[in-house]
Structure 1
């Protein structure tokens, strides 16, 4: 039996978890510290300004490295390029992207196009922004049919369900009729967690108990969204390791089943990547793209221990649109990707003289 609720979660769903699991928390597990006031209050004007990005990313390893590198005399010393190369490599940018950046900087120095550290910093800023601008493509759900179907995929622990909750709030704030599908029927309490997000955002959720067939849940959700004339359906799926062939095959099944109702569905396949995983993120994109046609990326947890460089590696390796990045736990900390603000937050504003 499928359940759809508008304001109250369905009673008894959380009891499908094994008895050893604790009762579902009152807030979504991945954002348990977020108070209700943060859920209910929209961000103030200018909340997505570059200053706010700097506040969130300024403590990252890459930002700290660059801050230290460029706090020196104005002249370029022989070791500076080597130190920049080390900083980029240790930030998870990857060898190919790092070599391309350093080679360009070296040519600029040789051609007298960057004669001091200030000019070199601006050259570096331009290179990094230029690498990211082609993939800064916001998701436009108004461009497709109704309901626009977003299928979210990713490995365990990347913040996928929380990302869905934040997306639901963003679109609900835009006065769109949103529905969620609790397709993660494998993880204990995942259904209850998504229902709690639905309750907070006043968004209906189509759900069944743990262990149900994920494709069947999402199929029923798409039927319901079509019947209601909804604008948007966001479907959760079970987190899985990209090396698990059987589970990856299930994703392909979900897509096939959806196409029985809508030949173009899903209209967006969002792969959620944990920004702290480093170069392993490249393998995840490669493997998930083989199972389903990934059309966009969400990079989460960039405000914590993430080094930031993996964003550049993904952009160079795949050229997939980076739709959103996660800069914190609050509901409005899921930001539309802004390459200028991102790079600006990583590099020093001014140089010490």
Structure 2
């Protein structure tokens, strides 16, 4: 019986920890899986077949998932196949056209469940046409990279309309049992949660960055590609990222074309050096701190087990909703 089968049958907590480069690692994923959710690791810059195998082996016999970025696959030959060979409970193939990565994953092992994160109904249809096993409907309020157009609830409703029998997870703005209950009531199988895990004790996020997220209100994030352009990363132009507002986003967030032109001219403003140095010293005033609007729901650092216990109260909220309806 697979994790996805157990999830469908409500035998496991319907929470997947999002694979987040820099904010999730083997320790966090292990803690999530040990506490009843599905922990995931991220395959990002510089990954190799050997490093992927090593990370998966560290997770041992517990269920786990792995997230990869579609646009980066040409730079990582053999890594996707190495991931599939470890037979994780879920492989996430997101950010960019999923057709070729899905084909390769199916060729490597057709039994490994595949998910694609989508930010529009058009992306959902494309993922479904590829035959994925799970769709993640990520709303614009979610932290980190993705589409920045449609909020979670309207997107979830749209995706559910076209998904048919394919299960859907909701992502973006979910950090409490109440939020999990809301998306399950709407028809989601569960939630894909990121920001709330970044501030857990087991997260590799630096203390300065955790404190910045905990101090932020729901209105103190911004969706932008400013950090990708400043750091000269290869993210597709239609996939920005939601991060905490800071000095760099205030200066350049509305001037992306100027930022690109400045960098192409040799970066006379020095923004690349500023952001790079800030990342090295974990300075949230200039470094990217990817977090979603759920930051406004987070008040203190806590363990993964404590967070999942809170998310696990979704059943109580659903029961109370049923009582209010007289059912």
> TM-score, normalising length from structure 2?
0.31
Structure of higher RCO (CA pairs closer than 8 Å, 6+ residues apart): 1
> TM-score, normalising length from structure 1?
0.29
Between structure 1 and structure 2, the one with the greater Rg is: 1
